[in-house]
Amino acid sequence: MNLSFDKKLADNYTSQSQKIRVLTEDWVDNQIFCPNCGHLNIDKYENNKPVADFFCSNCKEDYELKSKKETIGNKLVDGAYHTMIERLQSSNNPNFFLLNYDLQNFEVLNFFVIPKHFFIPDIIEERKALSQTARRAGWIGCNILLQSIPQSGKIFFVKNRQIESKEKILAKWQKTLFLRKEKEISAKGWLLDIINCIEKLKNKEFTIDEIYVFESFLSKKHPENKYIKDKIRQQLQILRDRGYLYFISRGIYKIK
């Protein structure tokens, strides 16, 4: 994988945003394989495709590209809030490619994919409506709260200029595909909450008592549920049945 942009492609553009769009889209088009099936090339949609920027001709997965010069951070600005919420509830929601670049050296710093099964309404933040004096008065945008997405939902191709192996990328993608079977948003939300709690422990092996520490946090997030510990045990069982966890012994689990 070559991390450098093809600089000559930007020569015909004066707008900085146009230059970045051309350079980043060309790089993805020529360097990135499909993380779902491993197909060597993904293809670029024609401009102004409303749903996505790229697609895999082999498995038909869609991908939307977001690029940032500075560190990507905890939030990512996206489009219209209500459109995003509608997309999350439909079948045409794309996966997200996120590219962080160094424009001085015209190269990629970080590049990762967030599979679409990690997107739920809880990670979408509604922004303030534009003022009445704005060109699009009343328009409401949104932010994607990246800090609310588990680390297992951020699959790096490139991290701090270091390229990850294709085998590892494909394995990480497959590990969480079971989440697509959860059609009910609340059910998926619970699983993602528990995965987030497990990751905060920063150990592959953990006890159920360690997860119980998050009881108060989960209770505030799900005030309608009065039996949080029971729900935690249920979710751990589901994660074990889906192959995300091993059951080691009574009350002890390990991430696969």
pLDDT digits 0-9 by tens, 53-99: 999 999 999 999 999 887 888 888 888 999 888 888 776 789 999 99
Whether 128 maps to a domain, the answer reads: no
For residue 249, the one-letter residue type is: S
Whether 234 maps to a domain, the answer reads: yes
For residue 14, the one-letter residue type is: T
Kindly report the CATH number assigned to the domain that includes residue 254.
1.10.10.10
Answer whether residue 50 shows pLDDT above 70: no
Whether 255 maps to a domain, the answer reads: yes
Whether 161 maps to a domain, the answer reads: no
Number of domains making up the chain:
1
pLDDT digits 0-9 by tens, 177-219: 999 988 888 999 999 999 999 999 999 999 999 999 999 999 9
Range of the domain at 216: 182-256
Whether 211 maps to a domain, the answer reads: yes
What is the value of pTM for the model shown?
0.91
Query: What are 247's strand-pairing partners?
Result: 253
Whether 94 maps to a domain, the answer reads: no
In 3D space, the residue among 106, 42, 39, 95 whose CA is nearest the CA of residue 65 turns out to be: 95
Whether 118 maps to a domain, the answer reads: no
Burial profile 65-101: b = 16 or more Cβ within 10 angstroms, e = fewer: bbbbeeebeeebebeebeebeebbeeeebbbbbbbbb
